[in-house]
Amino acid sequence: MNDVAIVGAGPAGIAASIFLKRAGFDVQLYEKNQVGGLLLNAYSVENYPGFPHGIKGNELCKLFKLQLEKWSIYPIFKEIIKVTRGKNKFILKTTKDIKEFKAILIATGSKPKKLGIPGEEESIKRHIFYEIKDLIPIIKPESNCIIIGGGDMAFDYALNLTENNANVDLYFRSQRPKCLPLLENRAKKIATIKLHPFSIPLQIDELKNKTVIQFQIKENKNIIHSNNEQNDSNNTNIITSTSNYTLIAIGRLPNNDLISKDFIEENISGLYIAGDLRKGIYRQVGIAVGDGIYKAMCIEEYLKGNVLWKC
């Protein structure tokens, strides 16, 4: 039986893998997508120590990947679809095989919140995106992009898109965005980013390879109209906006599909969770890395049979 499986090669899973490998354990790191996780979307990481001038998320991911290679950790690119418990072991199921481990760390991060409005599901993958890393490889210069959301993620995406020569219309519900003032100030200095407060998305339609989104405007003041926005003649509180691509960045939820209720209620030894997956509202690389290392230390003690260790 293998020692440890780590599910998710984001910052938490990567940090835990390196710690456990250095401690002499046999580690298998599973990733369903790309090494780096959500961090691949970050435009500029300026608060992770060691990079005084900031670093792009995907560049930091490349360094993480190099560090995995240095320790001969080669992720297995398979999605874990089920975790079950046996006697003193955990059973991991992928679509193709089943493996047993003495301990397991689940670091599956978060998943996007959806708007839940008509037309959203139908447009996914063609025009609607939840992560910018999926849009950047296909975006054409001078594209019009709508971003829905007023937090750090939405503003980070807006700044990133303008570097890719896109025109950005950022729609959010409140009067003021909820992002860091620093990000708002940067966005306001860029002429191709237009901010639209008091805007509630109602419906998404596709028309001639574009998305047309209807927004209800809560109040008519403080709105800077974009070029591609039209007032609905029947109702002045509804506007429509047309774009080539739409990014939805209204928040994220823990990606806890693998964790059954029994696992949490029984507080099972040998099974740990780390990073953004935990319900905390503070989702940062430094926190994910620290949590990954902390849980790796718990696993080390568990595998050594140190029953006094409380994680």
Q: Between 153 and 195, whose beta carbon lies closer to ligand FAD?
A: 153
Q: Which stretch binds ligand FAD (CB under 6 A): 102-110, 139-147, 175-183, 230-238?
A: 102-110
Tell me which of 3, 23, 33, 205 binds ligand FAD, using CB under 6 A. Answer: 33
Rg of the Cα trace of the chain?
Answer: 22
**DSSP per position, the chain:** -EEEEEE--SHHHHHHHHHHHHTT--EEEE-SS-TTGGGGG-S-B-SSTT-TT-B-HHHHHHHHHHHHHHTT---B---EEEEEEETTEEEEEESS-EEEEEEEEE---EEEPP---TTHHHHBTTTEESSHHHHTTTPPTT-EEEEE--SHHHHHHHHHHHHTT-EEEEE-SSSS--S-HHHHHHHHT-TTEEEE-SEEEEEEEEETTEEEEEEEES-SSS----TTEEE-TT-TTEEEEEESEEEE-S-EEE--TT--HHHHHHT-TTEEE-GGGSS-S---HHHHHHHHHHHHHHHHHHHTT-TT---
User: Can residue 31 be called a binding residue for ligand FAD (CB under 6 A)?
Assistant: yes
The stretch near ligand FAD (CB under 6 A) out of 11-19, 59-67, 121-129, 193-201 is 11-19
Indicate whether 75 belongs to the interface with ligand FAD (CB under 6 A): no
Please choose, out of 2-10, 117-125, 231-239, 293-301, the segment that lies near ligand FAD by the rule CB under 6 A: 2-10
Find the binder of ligand FAD among 62, 284, 290, 297 (CB under 6 A).
Answer: 284
Q: Which stretch binds ligand FAD (CB under 6 A): 25-33, 84-92, 202-210, 224-232?
A: 25-33
Binding of residue 145 to ligand FAD (CB under 6 A): no
Biggest CA–CA distance in the chain, Å, is 72
The 234-273 contact track toward ligand FAD, x by CB under 6 A, reads: ---------------------x--x---------------
Distance CA 42, CA 37 (A): 10
The residue range among 27-35, 60-68, 182-190, 296-304 that interacts with ligand FAD, by the rule CB under 6 A, is 27-35
Query: Can residue 60 be called a binding residue for ligand FAD (CB under 6 A)?
Result: no
Alpha-carbon gap, residue 10 to 193, rounded angstroms: 30
181-188 contacts, C-beta under 8 A, 24 or more apart: 183/152, 183/155, 183/156, 183/159, 184/155, 186/155, 186/159, 187/155, 187/158, 187/159
**In the complex with ligand FAD, which residue's Cβ is closer, 119 or 275?**
275
59 near ligand FAD, judged by CB under 6 A: no
Under the binding rule (CB under 6 A), the answer on residue 153 touching ligand FAD is: yes
Q: Which of 27, 148, 156, 243 binds ligand FAD (CB under 6 A)?
A: 156
By CB under 6 A, is residue 12 in contact with ligand FAD? yes
Instruction: Tell me: does residue 39 bind ligand FAD (CB under 6 A).
Output: yes
Count, residues near ligand FAD per rule CB under 6 A: 38
CB 89 within 8 A of CB 271: no
Please identify, using beta-carbon distances, which residue of 147 and 239 lies nearer to ligand FAD: 147
**Range 157-186, binding ligand FAD (CB under 6 A):** 157
* Residue (206 or 251) nearer to ligand FAD, CB: 251
Task: Write down the least CB distance from residue 45 to ligand FAD, Å.
Answer: 4
Binding residues for ligand FAD (CB under 6 A): 7-13, 30-33, 37-39, 41-42, 45, 47-48, 79-80, 107-110, 153, 156-157, 255, 258, 275-277, 283-286, 288
